């Protein structure tokens, strides 16, 4: 006889014989391994050199770091320490000079040309500090751009973009142009665009630094709520200490190296006061509800 049991973290149901289930004992080491964090991003010995001879800059001096599945990792450190260089390499936008980077088990150095572009298009979403929306396109059209680039028919792409704008709380703004939206709303459109392909890795470079306190908090709540789940990972570069409260792990860089790594301190005082009413995105589902990518 068999019965269905759920694997809680993935919500999948598998058949297992009741007798086997009752008798099975989990060895301590195996149980510990089950709880070990799963690596979403793994960097080993990553260096990056810009320029040559007289103008040579060593932006990364040997970075070893793991970023975990289902977690929001904050990458912090002073200006010029290499944060943007590191996330550009992790996102496959820049090649390292030395070292290896793997994203959800794929070694990026093994991909080149079209394969790397395809990997990026299906697995990585990017959110920029200045939103980078196209001014002549509406919010829905901006959010649909990655799908249209991937060959989706326009009407289908716009329909999915509209659904994604519902997820980020902007359904009423779908036909507005960027100039008709506030900074926080533009960043939410940019998040919708970054998530439209349901990427496993979302990389955000200073997503709140151009926003006022309330919009910044809204954007971080949104990222946390819709993009952090098992099978996905989020990296947020920030020097905004108000964002610290939203991270699961804090990775600190100094002068091209990782100088510390720690779990976020949940009891830390946040400079953004916690809202007493339920947050704007409570009850919204993660991005996978929007529908499968083509
Ligand atoms: P952060 O994001 O922490 O401010 P960056 O990764 O942007 O730091 O830069 C790290 C170092 O690399 C800095 O000294 C910067 O001037 C240098 N750098 C970054 N990009 C380039 C480039 N394209 N050409 C030359 N130097 C660069």
- Give Rg (Cα) of the chain: 20
Q: Which residue's CA lies nearest to atom 10 of ligand 1? A: 82
Residue range(s) defining the domain that contains residue 219: 38-266
For ligand 1, the distance from its centroid to the CA atom of residue 215, given in whole angstroms, is 28
Q: Which atom of ligand 1 is nearest to the CA of 77?
A: 3
- Probe target for ligand 1 pocket from 80, 238, 240, 251, with the most ligand atoms within 8 Å of CB: 80
Record the pTM: 0.80
Q: What is the pLDDT of residue 143?
A: 97
Q: How far is CA 177 from the centre of its chain?
A: 25
Q: What is the pLDDT of residue 8?
A: 27
Tell whether 9 is covered by a domain: no
CB 85 near ligand 1, within 6 Å: yes
Q: Which atom of ligand 1 is nearest to the CA of 256?
A: 10
For ligand 1, the distance from its centroid to the CA atom of residue 59, given in whole angstroms, is 6
Q: What is the pLDDT of residue 7?
A: 26
Tell whether 283 is covered by a domain: no
Q: What is the pLDDT of residue 35?
A: 60
Tell whether 70 is covered by a domain: yes
For ligand 1, the distance from its centroid to the CA atom of residue 255, given in whole angstroms, is 11
Average pLDDT per block of 10 residues along the chain, 294 residues long? 32 33 42 66 97 90 95 94 96 95 95 90 91 96 94 96 93 97 94 93 92 89 86 92 89 96 68 42 42 36
For ligand 1, the distance from its centroid to the CA atom of residue 55, given in whole angstroms, is 12
For ligand 1, the distance from its centroid to the CA atom of residue 109, given in whole angstroms, is 21
- Probe target for ligand 1 pocket from 48, 58, 82, 240, with the most ligand atoms within 8 Å of CB: 82
Q: What is the pLDDT of residue 34?
A: 56
Q: What is the pLDDT of residue 240?
A: 83
**Burial category of 51 from C-beta neighbours within 10 Å (exposed 0-12, middle 13-18, buried 19 and up):** exposed
Q: Which residue's CA lies nearest to atom 5 of ligand 1? A: 82
Q: What is the DSSP string of the chain?
A: -EEEEEETTTTEEEEEEHHHHHH----HHHHHHHHSPPEEEEEEEEEEEES-GGG-EEEEEEEEEEEETT-EEEEE--TTSSHHHHHHHHTTSS--SEEEEEETTEEGGG--HHHHHHHHHHHEEEE-TT----TTS-HHHHHHHHHHHTT--HHHHHHHHHHHHHHTT-GGGTT--GGGS-HHHHHHHHHHHHHTT--SEEEEESTTTTS-HHHHHHHHHHHHHHH-STT-EEEEE---GGGGGG-SEEEEEETTEEEEEEE--TTSPPSSPPPSSPPTTTTPPPGGGG----
What strand order describes the sheet that includes 98-103? 57-68, 39-50, 98-103, 106-107
CB 225 near ligand 1, within 6 Å: no
- Probe target for ligand 1 pocket from 47, 50, 204, with the most ligand atoms within 8 Å of CB: 50
For ligand 1, the distance from its centroid to the CA atom of residue 82, given in whole angstroms, is 6
Tell whether 71 is covered by a domain: yes
Q: What is the pLDDT of residue 17?
A: 35
CB 50 near ligand 1, within 6 Å: yes
For ligand 1, the distance from its centroid to the CA atom of residue 88, given in whole angstroms, is 11
CATH number for the domain spanning 210: value is 3.40.50.300
pLDDT in tens, 169-226: 999 999 999 999 999 999 999 999 999 998 999 999 999 988 888 888 888 998 988 8
Tell whether 285 is covered by a domain: no
Tell whether 293 is covered by a domain: no
The total domain count for the chain is 1
Q: What is the pLDDT of residue 25?
A: 40
Tell whether 13 is covered by a domain: no
Tell whether 157 is covered by a domain: yes
């Amino acid at each position: 006889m068999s019965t269905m049991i759920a694997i809680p973290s993935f919500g999948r149901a598998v058949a297992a014989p009741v007798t086997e289930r009752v008798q099975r004992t989990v060895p301590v080491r195996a149980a510990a391994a089950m709880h070990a964090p799963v690596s979403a991003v793994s960097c080993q010995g990553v260096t990056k050199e810009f320029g040559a001879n007289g103008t040579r800059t060593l932006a990364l001096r040997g970075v070893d770091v793991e970023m975990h599945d289902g977690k929001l990792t904050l990458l912090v450190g002073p200006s010029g320490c290499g944060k943007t260089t590191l996330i550009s390499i992790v996102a496959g936008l820049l090649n390292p000079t030395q070292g290896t980077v793997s994203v959800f088990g794929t070694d990026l150095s093994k991909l080149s040309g079209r394969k790397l572009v395809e990997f990026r298009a299906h697995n990585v979403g990017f959110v920029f500090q200045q939103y980078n929306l196209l001014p002549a396109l509406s919010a829905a059209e901006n959010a649909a751009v990655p799908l249209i680039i991937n060959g989706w028919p326009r009407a289908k792409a716009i329909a999915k973009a509209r659904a994604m704008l519902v997820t980020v709380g902007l359904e009423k703004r779908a036909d507005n142009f960027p100039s008709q939206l506030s900074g926080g709303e533009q960043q939410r459109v940019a998040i919708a665009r970054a998530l439209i392909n349901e990427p496993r890795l979302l990389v955000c470079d200073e997503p709140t630094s151009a926003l006022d306190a309330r919009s910044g908090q809204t954007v971080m709540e949104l990222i946390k709520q819709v993009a952090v789940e098992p099978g996905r990972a989020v990296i947020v570069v920030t020097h905004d200490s108000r964002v610290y409260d939203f991270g699961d792990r804090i990775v600190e860089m100094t002068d091209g190296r990782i100088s510390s790594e720690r779990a976020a301190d949940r009891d830390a005082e946040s400079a953004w006061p916690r809202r007493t009413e339920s947050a704007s995105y409570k009850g919204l589902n993660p991005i996978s509800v929007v529908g499968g990518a083509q």
